[in-house]
Amino acid sequence: MPLISGQEIMTAAENTDWAAIRARFPILENKTYLNSCAYGAISTDVIASFQAYINDRLEKGTDWEYWVERNESVRTAVAEFLGATTNEIAVTASASAGINSVASSLRFDQGRKKVVISDFEFPTNAQIWYAQERRGANVVRVPQRDGYIPIEHFENAIDEDTLIVAVTQVCFHNGARLDIPAIVELAKKKGALILVDGYQALGTLEFDVKTVKPDFVVGGMLKYLLGTAGIGFLYVRDTLIESLVPTVTGWFAQADIMAMDSTQYAPSPSARRFEMGTPPVPNCYAAEAGLAILAEVGLPAIASRVANITTNIIAEAKSAGYSLSVPENSARRGPMVTLQTHDEFTLVGELENAGVVTSSRNGNLRISPHFYNNHDDVAALFRALRPLKHLMV
């Protein structure tokens, strides 16, 4: 999606009927749902899409062409969402599947060996790269300082031996947002590839691959993309695709899937070469429905709304005397606000008892709104926190 000005963003948010959109997420009638970093709230659209899958199965029996079309619809929707072409998108079962496929296509035994990750990675985007050490990779982890990773730390780590930089956009445990455009630029300057794990950010802020220019982006439909578990995507820049030959593969990665040729490996000329086996068909229905809501509301309005709610949460937290884990600077945070706790599990459990759904990681309470939340949700959260003050730092 093209980037637009701040003024236009405000107008887009003001012109949206947020109450009507909120009504499409029934869980919000019963709970204060602030856990989109773990699982996005289910919409009536996604509920209907699962029913449509069941109806189609009952009606069509086995119609593989139709199921494959569902996968292609998701590919098209993801491409539109990222400003990519459909050739550049692989529909995967998870972010891990996409990262593994990319890793398998790299050689660590010729020339560059270094893989640069960071202290902020979700485990999968570290473990997969550490697994490549058996194939000759040398994994270097960029350290954080006081809850953030300044760009100089990446400058110190990325060099002429770096094959790939693989970093998260927003940290899953404290909500800090890295300066991805600057990291992309650093990687390019040193001739390294750059992979962005956008799972904790995409769906809440504008991100256009033609502007940011990463080589790879991975994500999934479970959280802010409003779909379901068991489906994700991988973007691969078009000019790179044919030079990369994944060795983690399967029949849906072949140039001609229906050739059913078990005598050779002939990968697709498109990013489909990074796929593997049978597509996650039921999840395609849900993913398409989730992405359609995002396209309908529009990223400019969503980004503005989410920023407004997170700013409100931070203001409330400060006035209650709670300690932030997330950086306060809005350029350094995403859709998740994190607060320091003395006992994260008791706190999350007590909030759950009070009807407020949150989660925690590394001692932090994670509060993760989406555009379907409102300021009443924020007020309900802080009301529920009041008697739990002894658990807060």
Ligand X SMILES: Cc1ncc(COP(=O)(O)O)c(C=O)c1O
Residue 300: exposure state from Cβ atoms within 10 A (0-12, 13-18, ≥19): buried
Nearest approach in angstroms of CB 97 to ligand X is 7
- 13/178 with CB nearer ligand X: 178
- Within a 13 Å sphere around the CA of 28, how many CA atoms are in the beta-carbon half? 26
Nearest approach in angstroms of CB 217 to ligand X is 11
3-state secondary structure of 54: helix
- 9/326 with CB nearer ligand X: 326
Nearest approach in angstroms of CB 197 to ligand X is 5
Nearest approach in angstroms of CB 230 to ligand X is 9
Strand pairing category for 114-118 and 138-142:
parallel
> Hey, what are 171's tokens?
């940290």
Residues that bind ligand X (CB under 6 A): 94-96, 122, 124-125, 168, 172, 197, 199-200, 220, 232
- 92/162 with CB nearer ligand X: 92
Task: Please calculate the CA angle 119-1-302 and round it to the nearest 5 degrees.
Answer: 70
Nearest approach in angstroms of CB 200 to ligand X is 5
- CA separation for the pair 277, 71 (Å, rounded): 12
Neighbours of 315 (CB within 10 A): 11
Query: 24 with 49: CB under 8 angstroms?
Result: no
- CA separation for the pair 267, 249 (Å, rounded): 9
Nearest approach in angstroms of CB 37 to ligand X is 7
Query: 301 with 51: CB under 8 angstroms?
Result: no
Continuous H helices in 158-264: 180-189, 209-212, 238-241
- 232/335 with CB nearer ligand X: 232
> Hey, what are 358's tokens?
């949150």
- 53/233 with CB nearer ligand X: 233
- 172/252 with CB nearer ligand X: 172
